[in-house]
Chain A
Amino acid sequence: MRTKITAKVLTLFLLMISFTAFASEETGKGDKKTEIKEYIQHHLKDSYDFSLFSYTTDAGEHKYIGLPLPVIIWDEGLKVFSSSKFHHGETVAEVDGNYYALYHNKIYRTDAQGTINYDAEHHPTNVKPLDFSITKSVVMILITGLLMFFLFKSLAKSYSNNGGIAKGAGRFFEPIVLYIRDDIAIPNIGEKKYMRYMPFLLTIFFFIWFLNIFGLTPLGVNVTGNLAVTASLAILTFLLTNFTGTKDYWKHIFDPLGDSMPWYAKIVLYVILIPIEVLGIFIKPFSLLIRLYANMQAGHIVLMSLIGLMFIFKSWLGSPLSFGLAFAISLIEILVALLQAYIFTMLSALYFGFAAEEHDHHEEAHAH
């Protein structure tokens, strides 16, 4: 059944590709394509204002509907101003006698005309002030955080109010909490130590899941598809793993063979083994950050490209087809949103399991 569906989707997709090939030969559609490409590029990046949608008037004027957000930069002193001063990158913002301009969605210090100087490789050479702005992603993180806080606080309260039984939305989330405890934390970390990691695992699961789902809404905020966000999450996993690592965890890294060999034999092997193990400490969380980033990024690109195809085709066949495909991919993306949260949590639990591992030396001595 599943293979059948996959086959159908694949056929559709191949059909689409041939259509695009046709479309690219036609003239006059190039503008639209670059516009869509730029739009997608723009969407994938963070932005300094919370734009809901934008349109172009008949007079050719760009209109943006949304909220400006505070820009906070450190450039010879703290400077806070509204992002509306940039006018979506169209004007230069003047703050305390300094001029700032947006270039590729980054803030640079410029002169009053907004000149950007480039080096030989076309990189801007302007001063880049330290940027701690409350961007669209930061707002979404805040909203998700608040949502999670009130959601799970009410769940906690419903337990004490109803004599240990969840009510309302908690009925939906309780099995997920229990699943994380019984099928992710306990099997990987062990009955004895799992409680220590539960707050992190639960928070990271729901945080990623909610943000992934938010990314699929028309608000279109690509938070988990942002390298800074996934890097932060992975680094927290990394720190937690290594700071809670037991003696056995470190012994496994620096003395993986144990007593199974005499020391002179081990030295030769360890020249290779120890660097690999040490590299492994960093590769594990790195894989986490890349996996989540790439999956969400790719999902957004595919989805938006398919939606963009509708505007390129503008035909009775192509547009419904790409609409159907976009719909199918959206459904898959909903699954991916959950799956990626699950994988991140699962692998974090696995790494915590390595860190919390304690061999029973007594038993081992008997076994030998």
Chain B
Amino acid sequence: MKLLEDFSLGLFFWQTLLFVLLILLLKKYAWKPILNAVNEREEGIKNALDSAEKAKREMENLQADNQKLLKEARLEREAMLKEARDMKNKMIEDAKDQAKEEANKLIAQAQVSIETEKKAAIAELKSQVANLSIDIAEKVVKEELSNKDKQIKLVESMLGEATLN
């Protein structure tokens, strides 16, 4: 009960009055501006972080796009190179085939013409040889038949040969 006796109503009155006044004053002039400023700052930081994150993600997307493009270009180049190589090979092959064919054809033609020439040459040679032999025979006959004796002898040998055959 001594505690209650010591309780000072005046101090209670002043404390309550001053404290309520202090709350109201601080609320208006300090706490509201402080909390608002802090909230604003935190909002700002959050926004900045968000946009940084967004920029980072965009950057990543861009990089991925670049990578993709690069990869595509490489693939295309490879495809083009392959195509060119294939084309080159095919052209060489084709040219080879064509050349071979042409050569074969030429060879065949040459063979044919050689054959013809050969035949012609042989025929010519034959006729030449016949002419020559006739000439020789004529000359020989002319010689042989210049005297009587020789003519009889020849006839006889020829007859002899004929009988023998």
Interface residues of A (CB under 8 A from B): 45-46, 72, 130-135, 137-138, 141-142, 145, 148-149, 152-153, 155-157, 159-160, 164-165, 174, 177-178, 181, 195, 198-200, 202-203, 207, 226-229, 231-233, 235-236
Chain B contact-residue range equals 20 to 34
Q: Identify the 10 closest CB pairs spanning chains A and B, nearest first.
A: A152-B30, A159-B37, A156-B33, A199-B27, A228-B12, A228-B11, A164-B41, A232-B15, A131-B10, A132-B10
| Complex CA distance for A149 and B10, rounded to whole angstroms | 23
* Given A160-B37, A203-B23, A232:B30 Cβ within 8 A: no
Q: From residue B12, how far is it (CB to closest CB) to chain A in Å? A: 4
Q: From residue B13, how far is it (CB to closest CB) to chain A in Å? A: 6
Residue pairs across A and B with CB atoms within 8 Å: the count is 120
- B9 near A198 (CB under 8 angstroms)? no
**Main SS class of interface, A:** helix
In the bound complex, residues from chain B placing their C-beta under 8 Å from that of A181 are: 35, 38
- A200 near B23 (CB under 8 angstroms)? yes
Interface residues of B (CB under 8 A from A): 3, 6-16, 18-23, 25-27, 29-35, 37-38, 40-41, 44
Contact of A164 among B16, B27, B32, B37 (CB under 8 A): B37
| Complex CA distance for A133 and B31, rounded to whole angstroms | 31
| Complex CA distance for A207 and B23, rounded to whole angstroms | 10
| Complex CA distance for A181 and B38, rounded to whole angstroms | 11
- A46 near B14 (CB under 8 angstroms)? no
**Main SS class of interface, B:** helix
- B15 near A202 (CB under 8 angstroms)? no
In the bound complex, residues from chain B placing their C-beta under 8 Å from that of A174 are: 34, 38
- A236 near B19 (CB under 8 angstroms)? yes
- A149 near B15 (CB under 8 angstroms)? no
Further 11 A-B residue pairs, CB within 8 A, beyond A141-B15, A156-B33, A164-B37:
A132-B14, A138-B11, A138-B18, A142-B18, A152-B30, A156-B34, A174-B38, A227-B3, A228-B7, A229-B12, A232-B12
* Given A141-B19, A232-B19, A131:B8 Cβ within 8 A: yes
- B26 near A130 (CB under 8 angstroms)? no
- B22 near A149 (CB under 8 angstroms)? yes
| Complex CA distance for A235 and B21, rounded to whole angstroms | 15
| Complex CA distance for A152 and B31, rounded to whole angstroms | 8
- A152 near B34 (CB under 8 angstroms)? yes
| Complex CA distance for A160 and B36, rounded to whole angstroms | 10
- A195 near B14 (CB under 8 angstroms)? no
| Complex CA distance for A125 and B12, rounded to whole angstroms | 23
- B9 near A131 (CB under 8 angstroms)? yes
* Given A149-B25, A159-B34, A199-B31, A233:B10 Cβ within 8 A: no
| Complex CA distance for A233 and B35, rounded to whole angstroms | 23
Contact of A135 among B10, B23, B26, B27 (CB under 8 A): B10
